[in-house]
């Protein structure tokens, strides 16, 4: 169970980091107007319009992976069993269990008068 949560956290973090990179590589809506009039659109890696499809589909796939990993982490995070449904019920069950008795050897010896001795100056 611990390995599964670690794997889900790793998948979630990697997909978030790659998704941030893909989003930053995409062009805004204002860049399409410049590409329509021939201002440097042919010099890009994927061509004038080829990057929009690839980057947007990759972002959509990574967003799906990210959200499914987040939902799985939320599901596995809530699978714990509790003794009671409220804080007061759990407190009552902890107080009901007796504490182990301390041995006589571990307690410090008191003076014969029953009060702690005060050192004289």
State the pLDDT at residue 37.
66
Contact 110, 116 (CB under 8 A): yes
Return all residues near 12 (Cβ < 8 A) that are at least 6 apart.
66, 69, 70, 73
- Domain annotation covers residue 58: yes
Q: Considering its fold, how many domains does the chain have in total? A: 1
- Rg of the Cα trace of the chain? 32
pLDDT tens profile 59-108: 999 999 999 999 999 999 888 765 557 777 777 777 766 666 655 555 56
State the pLDDT at residue 96.
65
- What is the domain extent for residue 69? 1-23+52-80
Model confidence at 6: pLDDT above 80: yes
- Domain annotation covers residue 101: no
Both tokens assigned to 107:
């307690």
What global pTM score does this model have? 0.53
Please name the residue that has the structure tokens 């690839």: 54
- Domain annotation covers residue 45: no
Q: How far from the centroid of its chain's Cα atoms is residue 78's Cα?
A: 13
pLDDT tens profile 7-56: 999 999 999 999 999 999 887 776 656 656 665 555 555 555 556 688 88
- Domain annotation covers residue 16: yes
- Domain annotation covers residue 71: yes
- Domain annotation covers residue 61: yes
- Domain annotation covers residue 11: yes
Rounded Cα–Cα distance for residues 71 and 79 (Å): 13
State the pLDDT at residue 5.
92
């Amino acid at each position: 169970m611990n390995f599964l949560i670690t794997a889900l956290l790793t998948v979630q973090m990697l997909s978030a980091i790659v998704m941030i990179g893909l989003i930053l590589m995409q062009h805004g809506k204002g860049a399409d107007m410049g590409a329509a009039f021939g201002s440097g659109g042919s010099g890009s890696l994927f061509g004038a319009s080829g990057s929009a499809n690839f980057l947007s589909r990759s972002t959509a796939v990574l967003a799906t992976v990210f959200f499914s990993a987040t939902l799985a982490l939320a599901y596995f995070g809530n699978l714990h069993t509790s003794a009671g449904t409220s804080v007061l019920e759990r407190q009552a069950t902890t107080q009901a269990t007796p504490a182990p008795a301390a041995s006589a050897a571990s307690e410090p010896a008191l003076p014969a008068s029953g009060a702690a001795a005060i050192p004289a100056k």
